[in-house]
């Protein structure tokens, strides 16, 4: 997409990339190397979904692809597959972000949750088809549930800490500003 963005938008994009870096590094720090019995929610994915739903301009598709491909490489996941699925999910949210804005939060949450379930299942199915070792099902389901559950929390934090919220009608500072 040949987009002409304002410097402010570029700054917001940089904030997103920085946030992604911080989340990734925090996950990489070797604090406990014992296998865990529960899986933490996929915070990076939740953050990306919130950002795309609220301010799609701040997370262009190439940043999503680059960030998730990098985490694929760093986290020893099969490279490319998860990144492709996340790109598809964010595109699905992006094309509907105007409709999402007029929906209630519960509806938005349900839509995103459905998308998360869909890409998690697709990931497992593709990995099973190409006969790659699969992660334990329980852990995957736990992570999925966690990601869905922290979504409202991330929305809250994004709203009040990063000012990532829907643009209200009449909120435009100048005519023709991108929404």
Partner 1 sequence: MARDNSSETYIAPVRNLLVGALVLVLLAVFAVWRIDSPRVERLRMAVIDRVVPSFDWAMAPIHGTAHLLADFQSYQRLAAQNQDLRRELQQMKAWREAALQLEQENAKLLDLNNVRIDPKLTFVTGVVMTDSGSPFRQSVLLNVGARDGIIDGWPTMDGIGLAGRIAGVGRQTSRVLLLTDTSSRIPITILPSGQRAILAGDSTSNPMIEFLEDRAVVRPGDRVVSSGDGGVFPADLLVGQVALGTDNRLRVRLAVDYQRLEFLRVLRAHPHEAINDPGRLLTPMPEIYGPSALSPAAPATPEAADG
Binding site for partner 1 (CB under 8 A): 1, 3, 21-22, 24-40, 56-57, 61-62, 65, 69-71, 73-81, 83-84, 87-88, 91, 130, 132-133, 135-136, 139-140, 143, 176, 178
Report the alpha-carbon distance of residue 171 to residue 166 in Å, rounded: 10
Nearer to partner 1, 33 or 106 (CB): 33
Nearer to partner 1, 63 or 155 (CB): 63
Rounded to a whole number of angstroms, the minimum distance from the CB of residue 64 to partner 1 is 9
- Cβ distance 147 to 45 under 8 Å? yes
Rounded to a whole number of angstroms, the minimum distance from the CB of residue 161 to partner 1 is 19
Rounded to a whole number of angstroms, the minimum distance from the CB of residue 106 to partner 1 is 26
Nearer to partner 1, 48 or 143 (CB): 143
Rounded to a whole number of angstroms, the minimum distance from the CB of residue 84 to partner 1 is 4
Nearer to partner 1, 28 or 114 (CB): 28
3-state SS of the chain is CCCCCCHHHHHHHHHHHHHHHHHHHHHHCCCCCCCCCCCCCCHHHHHHHHHHHHCHHHCCHHHHHHHHHHHHHHCCCCCCHHHHHHHHHHHHHHHCHHHHHHCCHHHHHHHHHHHHHHHHHHHHHHHHHCCCCCCCHHHHHHHHHHHHHHHHHHHHHHHHHCCCCCCCCCCCCCCCCCC
Nearer to partner 1, 70 or 117 (CB): 70
Rounded to a whole number of angstroms, the minimum distance from the CB of residue 160 to partner 1 is 24
């Amino acid at each position: 997409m040949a987009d002409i963005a304002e410097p402010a938008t570029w700054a917001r994009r940089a904030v997103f990339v920085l946030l992604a870096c911080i989340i990734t590094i925090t996950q990489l720090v070797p604090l406990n190397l014992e296998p865990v019995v529960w899986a933490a929610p996929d915070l990076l994915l939740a953050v990306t979904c919130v950002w795309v739903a609220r301010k799609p301009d701040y997370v262009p598709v190439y940043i999503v692809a680059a960030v998730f491909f990098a985490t694929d490489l760093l986290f020893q996941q099969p490279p490319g597959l998860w990144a492709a699925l996340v790109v598809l999910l964010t595109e699905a949210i992006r094309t509907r972000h105007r409709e999402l804005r007029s929906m209630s939060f519960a509806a938005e949450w349900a839509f995103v949750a459905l998308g998360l379930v869909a890409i998690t299942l697709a990931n497992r199915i593709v990995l099973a088809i190409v006969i790659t070792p699969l992660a334990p099902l329980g852990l995957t389901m736990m992570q999925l549930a966690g990601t869905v559950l922290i979504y409202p929390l991330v929305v809250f934090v994004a709203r009040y800490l990063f000012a990532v919220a829907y643009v209200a009608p009449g909120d435009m500072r100048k005519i023709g500003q991108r929404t």
